[in-house]
């Protein structure tokens, strides 16, 4: 897959952006407190700092792990620029060197809950973003069918179905197509496969790896599965329990074999155990702290 529909240059709204020049995503001392100043103030993440650089011709895939409620979704929504997570209480969140001011199609997001628009067919769901940008129906439907095919759905039988006629896995394929059709520079995935059965989940992981190679975007992938993070990621971020801090960044082997094969290899298992140990140590430290 190459770029013809659109050049890489055209996708960037920053004319000076050179690959590898500015970091794709940068958190500088970011904290987020919900209901700041009120009695129910709650600090979700604290002093999170990291930088993800653009590798030329190859975005970075970041797996994000951490206990429930530690602020993983908060971090993703801060990058997306969605309220009430945006704006951060302190610190700055920048994408391509510019502070995030609000949501935009350059940062696509796939949610855990199925967020297909019920009143639109699969094709109309996939082309929603292009429709919002005023792309004519002929062009957007052509591209829409292309992406329906890319995510492994059957164009002939599925394009005119409504979301309620699809399985959970098929809905997430639609959600992925709907996001990727806009060729975002950053893709934010919040436990997108959390509600799927294990076999479907492996298939979706392979699909994601294949698509990601083609679109060359930077991906943030939140998951509760250490295997999934280690398999998909170039790098794994481990967050502490609430208030979330970034406690470990682990570089891991990128996924160059099908999920079912690679996840059986010894080296892969070792990495998973290592990350598991880090999480357990973090948990132990927290328990010791609170005693």
Partner 1 sequence: MTDSNSQVSQTRRRWFPIRGKISLLSSILISIASVLFLFATWWFVTRGEIVEQRIVGPFALPSPAETFATFSDLWFDQQLTRNTLTTLRRVVLGFSLAAVVGIPLGILAGSFPPVKSLLAPLILFGRNIPIAALVPLTYFFFGVAEMQKVLFIFLACVAFVIADTTTSISNVGQQYLDTAYTLGSNRWQAITRVLVPLAMPGLFDSLRLLFGLAFGYIMLAESIKLGGETGGLGNLINAAQKRGLRTQIYLIILIIPIVAFLIDRVLFAIQRGLFPHKYGGGGWLLVIVRDIAHRIGDVKSMFFRPTPPYDQLTLEGIAAAERLDGGTSDDGRGHE
Ligand X SMILES: Nc1ncnc2c1ncn2[C@@H]1O[C@H](COP(=O)(O)OP(=O)(O)OP(=O)(O)O)[C@@H](O)[C@H]1O
- Binding residues (CB under 8 A) for partner 1: these are 1-7, 10-11, 13, 77, 80, 82, 102-105, 107-109, 111, 113, 115, 117-121, 124, 128-140, 142-143, 146, 149-154, 162-164, 167, 169-170, 178-179, 182, 188, 199-200, 203-204, 206-207, 210, 214
Tokens of 242: 């609430």
Q: Which pair of tokens denotes residue 183? A: 């060729």
Q: Does 71 bind ligand X (CB under 6 A)?
A: yes
- Closest approach of Mg ion to the CB of residue 73, in Å: 3
> Which is nearer to ligand X, 125 or 242 (by Cβ)?
242
Kindly state the smallest distance separating residue 229's Cβ from partner 1, in Å: 20
Rounded CA gap, 231 and 226, in Å?
Answer: 8
Sheet holding 218-222, edge to edge: 107-110, 186-190, 218-222, 61-65, 235-239, 246-251
Q: Please, which residues have CB within 8 angstroms of residue 28's CB and are 6 or more apart in sequence?
A: 49, 91, 92, 93, 94
Q: Where are the beta strands (DSSP E) in 146-290?
A: 186-190, 218-222, 235-239, 246-251
What is the size of the binding site for ligand X (CB under 6 A)? 14
Q: Which is nearer to partner 1, 71 or 241 (CB)?
A: 71
Name the binder of 71 from partner 1, Mg ion, ligand X, none, CB < 5-8 A by kind: ligand X
Pairing label, strands 61-65, 235-239: parallel
Q: Is residue 73 within the footprint of Mg ion (CB under 5 A)?
A: yes
Q: Which does 34 bind (CB under 5 to 8 A by kind): partner 1, Mg ion, ligand X, none?
A: ligand X
**Minimum distance from residue 194 beta carbon to Mg ion (Å):** 9
Pairwise CA distance, residues 279 & 289, whole Å? 15
Q: Give yes or no for residue 73 binding ligand X (CB under 6 A).
A: yes
66: its two tokens: 């951490």
Nearest approach in angstroms of CB 179 to partner 1 is 7
Distances (CA, A) of 205 to 31, 47, 112, 191, 284: 31, 31, 14, 12, 31
Query: Whose Cβ is closer to ligand X: residue 31's or residue 242's?
Result: 242
Q: In angstroms, what is the minimal distance from the CB of 272 to ligand X? A: 19
Determine how many CB atoms are found less than 10 A away from the CB of residue 154: 11
Residues near Mg ion (CB under 5 A) are 73
Residues near ligand X (CB under 6 A) are 34-35, 42, 44, 66, 68-74, 84, 242
């Amino acid at each position: 897959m190459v770029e013809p529909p659109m050049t890489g240059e055209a996708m960037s709204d920053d004319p000076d952006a050179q690959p590898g020049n500015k970091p794709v995503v940068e958190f500088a001392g970011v904290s987020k407190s919900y209901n700041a100043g009120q009695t129910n103030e709650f600090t979700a993440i604290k002093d999170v700092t990291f930088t993800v650089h653009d590798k030329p011709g190859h975005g970075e895939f970041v797996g994000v792990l951490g206990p429930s409620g530690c602020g993983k979704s908060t971090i993703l929504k801060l990058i997306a620029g969605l309220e009430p997570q945006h704006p951060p209480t302190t610190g700055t969140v920048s994408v391509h060197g510019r502070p995030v001011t609000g949501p935009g199609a350059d940062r696509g997001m796939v949610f855990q809950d199925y967020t297909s628009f019920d009143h639109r067919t699969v094709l109309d769901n996939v082309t929603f973003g292009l429709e919002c940008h005023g792309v004519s129906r002929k062009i957007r439907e052509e591209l829409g069918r292309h992406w329906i095919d890319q995510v492994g759905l059957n164009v002939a039988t599925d394009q005119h179905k409504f979301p309620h006629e699809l399985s959970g896995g098929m809905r997430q394929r639609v959600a992925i197509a709907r996001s990727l059709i806009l060729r975002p520079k950053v893709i934010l995935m919040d436990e997108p496969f959390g509600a799927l059965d294990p076999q479907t989940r492996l298939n979706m992981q392979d699909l994601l790896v294949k698509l990601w190679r083609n679109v060359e975007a930077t991906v943030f992938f939140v998951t509760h599965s250490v295997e999934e993070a280690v398999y998909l990621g170039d790098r794994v971020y481990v967050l502490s329990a609430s208030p979330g801090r970034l406690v470990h960044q682990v570089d891991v082997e990128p996924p160059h074999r099908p999920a079912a094969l690679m996840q059986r290899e010894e080296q892969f298992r070792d990495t998973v155990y290592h990350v598991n140990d880090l999480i357990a140590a973090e948990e132990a430290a927290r328990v010791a702290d609170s005693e």
